[in-house]
Structure 1
């Protein structure tokens, strides 16, 4: 691989997009490309670096999925366990047949507190429930607990954030631990993700990128009023691009789940499009030979995350951005340079 050619190509793409963020590429446990662009905090002139922590929005749903799989591995629940049997929170209008499987695969039919097909302004969400009050999984309950089902349980795949909030509540009740504490102890520490975590937006640690939203006049504002004060089961963890690469290595090497449970986590469950499926661990692309790549993505205002892992090539690509756009285009450029045909 001609690294200089790759760098020139990526630099051109970065300039074209004005991409701000970090990229990390590793093959067979070795880093082959790691670069950062733009500013973590524009007003202070602080640049993004390999040690910069980025919010990855829904890209962190896989942590919730792995936590559930760990509890299944331990025999504390099963994928067929009904929510009514493992959670002492009352959902008066929910179908009693909803299981862990349905929540993991976005087939539960529960009302989504943020339906991305119906809404595009995240700030509208917090007009009745101020975002600074939303710091734990249970804080989301007023947004969906008393609502009727959005669809039929076991119906077609429909992306749903509420389902993962409920999974977080299950993790807390079954483990007896706060959701964030559980993830940090049982996933981040085991994967060597010492800089990753769920941080309150009003108590951010160092080496953090602020998310930026472009205004209609071309200037920028931060995303502090667009997101919950603290991330949780449906998204919002902060990671470095490098540590997300380490995460995939830990997952595929059996440090987070048993070999059989890792296989189950990454098995196609629900068809999304022609060659795209959803597993317990997120999206994946298949062909006639099996899985081509596992796909992680996350989007919030001021947050753009893309990640892929090619199992046959043992290739992982991570792209984190603190702007709303650009990660997908950077990912595609890197794929064109690194995929072995």
Structure 2
């Protein structure tokens, strides 16, 4: 459906009013931009969200980890068939010895997920045994899963955060850099993502939206006690909507990887359901001929993120929210208007 900008804004306003969406959206199609912001980055201080507000994007940043791995593969340091036991010196007594980087990237390793949504409903349950303020390095996550048994067979898709913690540790081991420093230097800088970073929740820079969780009495509390204190290789980086537009442009124009490796990153690998597949860099919707759109998504308490890129329509949309919901409804409305 094609509509003019005024009609688009009217439809977006309707969704915002219904969902009480708090966040920012940015759409670009053949050079034409559509942007907007709603709600508060800081409710107590009445600081409104703006187009340059930085939002947490939860698992939406797993693709940065994937690209880092692909960059190291391009340098000949590792390959997709390199086994986990060949990459890391940490002990994993119950893990299948045949687990490879390919399995970790595609969520088919079968290792235990430290936050398995099929088992736990509440992310905050994790911090009863492991205080979130202790999770400042990637290796701090290991006690949550390294001594647990495999949960699915090797090769079976089961969305897995632990696998991306291990991929981040591989980046550190192979590159010799702290994971967040590697991403800053080799992805954010190259993609001109000048406002993005892996921040600590007790040491946030300016223009960061606090994440908000609704309380039973209808009020709001921040998510500072709900998430690991520092964003990590499985989720939690902070970006602006505009930075994510820059990211898609850099990725699709081979400024982060070679054209060949970019295609490898974005090729469907594992069928998740129907026409939805997972590659090395995220979800994608396909038809019988090609990939229709690439999909990034992230959810944490007080965080909701969605982004899509249509390669054959030159359309990119980013929606960042500092509440636990609303991004999906917003992005579907914007998608339907193009």
> Shorter-chain TM-score: which interval?
over 0.9
TM-score by length of 2: 0.98
Matched, 1:245 2:245: yes
Matched, 1:203 2:203: yes
Q: How does 1:1-341 map to 2 (within 5 A)?
A: 1-28=3-30, 30-154=31-155, 156-338=156-338
TM-score by length of 1: 0.97
Q: C-alpha separation between the residues in 2 aligned to 1:280 and 1:208?
A: 29
Which deviates more, 83-92 or 164-173? 83-92
On the 8 A contact 1:212/1:301 being kept in 2, the answer is: yes
Task: Give 5+ residue unaligned stretches, structure 2.
Answer: none
Q: C-alpha separation between the residues in 2 aligned to 1:6 and 1:166?
A: 42
Q: C-alpha separation between the residues in 2 aligned to 1:94 and 1:6?
A: 50
The CA deviation string for residues 276-319 of structure 1, in whole angstroms up to 9 with x for no partner, is: 00000100000112100000000000000000000001110000
The CA deviation string for residues 188-210 of structure 1, in whole angstroms up to 9 with x for no partner, is: 00000010001100000000000
Q: C-alpha separation between the residues in 1 aligned to 2:36 and 2:102?
A: 38
Which deviates more, 243-252 or 84-93? 84-93
Q: C-alpha separation between the residues in 1 aligned to 2:51 and 2:33?
A: 14
Q: C-alpha separation between the residues in 1 aligned to 2:152 and 2:5?
A: 49
Which deviates more, 212-221 or 259-268? 212-221
The CA deviation string for residues 28-77 of structure 1, in whole angstroms up to 9 with x for no partner, is: 3x242011110000000000001100000000000000000000111110
On the 8 A contact 1:94/1:110 being kept in 2, the answer is: yes
Task: Give 5+ residue unaligned stretches, structure 1.
Answer: none
Q: C-alpha separation between the residues in 2 aligned to 1:54 and 1:86?
A: 32
Question: Aligned pairs, how many?
Answer: 336
Q: C-alpha separation between the residues in 2 aligned to 1:221 and 1:57?
A: 18
Q: C-alpha separation between the residues in 1 aligned to 2:15 and 2:124?
A: 31
On the 8 A contact 1:24/1:31 being kept in 2, the answer is: no
Pair 31,88 (structure 1): closer, same or farther in 2 beyond 3 Å: farther
Runs of at least 4 residues of structure 1 off by over 6 A? Answer: none
Pair 224,322 (structure 1): closer, same or farther in 2 beyond 3 Å: same
Q: CA deviation at 1:254?
A: 0.5
Q: C-alpha separation between the residues in 2 aligned to 1:333 and 1:74?
A: 41
SS at match of 1:49: coil
Q: C-alpha separation between the residues in 1 aligned to 2:181 and 2:164?
A: 17
Q: C-alpha separation between the residues in 2 aligned to 1:31 and 1:102?
A: 39
